[in-house]
Structure 1
């Protein structure tokens, strides 16, 4: 059994192109809490010992202003920068792009801050405590170089009412292990004859998904071995896609490769929780309403950090 408290890696370097602003530091809670605040709150309760924010370097001052003081004494905090420098990954190329190389590249950018079991999440997704509890237990008891995990949400509970979303659609065996995961970048609801269908578009053709199909919301648990594999795969990806400025090296590409090569198994930790997040600007009011509901029903205190500022860190695991 592993005793090291796991690290939480938060991907917060996105350009927020569809949302239209820096949603990583937008306020949604009753005291302008960010979605990240609730994720970190749940992670601390679940036993995580460190948080690493993967950001663009120009965001550093605003992120430190928003998080350093309130997290001091509660969880270790570090920052890593995702940028366009390929040479730090051993690739001697300069490739002009508007955005970095995707979520897999973002995780690689944090490798110097990772020295044990870790979990990766998105900054703009609200996952709920159950997901953090299940992942923390896995990372403290079961993770190994050949054992990974992801939290599997039901696709029908992860959609936006305002446009398409990207999800890693999983093929799961009868024992709850992932056979494969495929990133689908255009999933949405389609209504015909008053019936709802969930579809993804590929090559101009719509393909239907079952509402309870398990999907990745970028909630992954790994040992540092995955970073070694990512470093081996990334140069080939860059070479193949160097003429495509929109190509992205996604996190699911790495465990998918490892599973198919027989290098590791990937447990799918099921949750029936309803995800919510801010893919689009219009999502903001929905998120605020759902957080207000959770606060009103006692899932979170009205002021997340003030409520615990005098509490010893060892006791910080209870609401």
Structure 2
């Protein structure tokens, strides 16, 4: 069986961060967050890394990652762009930004012929997540059985403000029945106890600490591309006049679940997530990586 592929979403504009956070340095020797994800993925058994980027980023990415990854893992690059004709969509649409994460995945349809997982470039997921996903992709994935890495809600929040999270409902068999995007999720001290709440219709709703949430870590096989393409064509037709409409992976997952076309196993992990949205997040990420190095999780020089 082929080793699974790691597909990294790295075409984002990073407008709130102010620069290309995908290739910003966080480790002691200039390591990016992507470096730690790739390092964990190789250890977990992944055989190839594909970067989804804007075409103008190509040389920059190659100059950073190719020297590190040579003879360690196969690499490839695909481009997320505005060309709809390559998807047999003739409609002309004016947009300032790409169509979203599911469209980014679709950009890799001609580059992948094996089971694969999708991650964000600017999120840290931990080795346990990659090992469990690799096991799923080598033993369980099928044309209608996919997976989502389910992080504990209390392991994914910031102490510095609210965040958006895809909150999963999971049945007794461990399969996701629904994923709902909550745009304002936060910690709150109640009677000297830290709890989690989200806001809905101007009301505070408590979320269990161990509720499973999505951090955009998905497991698929190539069958997902045909379903995604069909849904993308429909999405473009319905949203061609909305320049801000985005075609997200959870939208695809939710639609396939509702139509009984696929199941999504929610794989639990206790790894603590961290990532960057704002410049203010950088020292927190650097501190987290430094602690992992001190604990022996990673070597100080990752690729030496």
Listed as ranges, the matches of 1:113-192 within 5 Å are 113-190=111-188
Structure 2 counterpart of 1:33: 31
Q: Which moved more, 1:237-246 or 1:261-270?
A: 237-246
Structure 2 counterpart of 1:227: 225
- Please state whether the residue corresponding to 2:110 is helix, strand or coil: helix
Structure 2 counterpart of 1:66: 64
Distance across 2 between alignment mates of 1:66 and 1:140: 30
**RMSD value over aligned CA atoms?**
1.6
Distance across 1 between alignment mates of 2:255 and 2:142: 17
Change (3 A) 1:13 1:162: farther
- Please state whether the residue corresponding to 1:111 is helix, strand or coil: coil
Unaligned regions of 5+ residues in structure 2, if any? none
User: How far did 1:132 drift?
Assistant: 0.2
Unaligned regions of 5+ residues in structure 1, if any? 307-319
Distance across 2 between alignment mates of 1:160 and 1:16: 19
Query: Quick one: which of 5, 10, 18 aligns to 1:7?
Result: 5
Distance across 2 between alignment mates of 1:17 and 1:26: 14
Distance across 2 between alignment mates of 1:41 and 1:189: 31
TM-score by length of 2: 0.95
Maintained 8 Å contact 1:169/1:215: yes
Maintained 8 Å contact 1:160/1:283: no
Structure 2 counterpart of 1:211: 209
| 1:84 is aligned to 2:73 | no
User: How far did 1:204 drift?
Assistant: 4.9
- Please state whether the residue corresponding to 1:245 is helix, strand or coil: coil
User: Cα deviation per residue 1:147-169 (whole Å; 9 max; x = unaligned)?
Assistant: 11111001121123344333221
| 1:18 is aligned to 2:19 | no
TM-score by length of 1: 0.91
Distance across 2 between alignment mates of 1:6 and 1:172: 25
Maintained 8 Å contact 1:169/1:214: yes
Query: Quick one: which of 249, 253, 256 aligns to 2:254?
Result: 256
What count of residue pairs does the alignment treat as equivalent? Answer: 304
- Please state whether the residue corresponding to 1:78 is helix, strand or coil: strand
User: How far did 1:116 drift?
Assistant: 1.1
Q: Which moved more, 1:186-195 or 1:60-69?
A: 186-195
- Please state whether the residue corresponding to 2:128 is helix, strand or coil: helix
User: How far did 1:194 drift?
Assistant: 5.7
Distance across 2 between alignment mates of 1:75 and 1:48: 8
User: How far did 1:190 drift?
Assistant: 4.4
Maintained 8 Å contact 1:165/1:279: no
Distance across 2 between alignment mates of 1:99 and 1:21: 16
| 1:110 is aligned to 2:108 | yes
Distance across 2 between alignment mates of 1:305 and 1:235: 42
Structure 2 counterpart of 1:240: 238
Maintained 8 Å contact 1:89/1:231: yes
Distance across 2 between alignment mates of 1:162 and 1:20: 19
Q: Which moved more, 1:137-146 or 1:180-189?
A: 180-189
Structure 1 counterpart of 2:275: 277
Distance across 1 between alignment mates of 2:166 and 2:31: 28
- Please state whether the residue corresponding to 2:279 is helix, strand or coil: coil
Distance across 1 between alignment mates of 2:173 and 2:23: 39
Structure 1 counterpart of 2:303: 305
Change (3 A) 1:110 1:204: farther
Change (3 A) 1:191 1:220: same
User: How far did 1:96 drift?
Assistant: 2.0
Distance across 2 between alignment mates of 1:199 and 1:87: 43
Change (3 A) 1:37 1:180: same
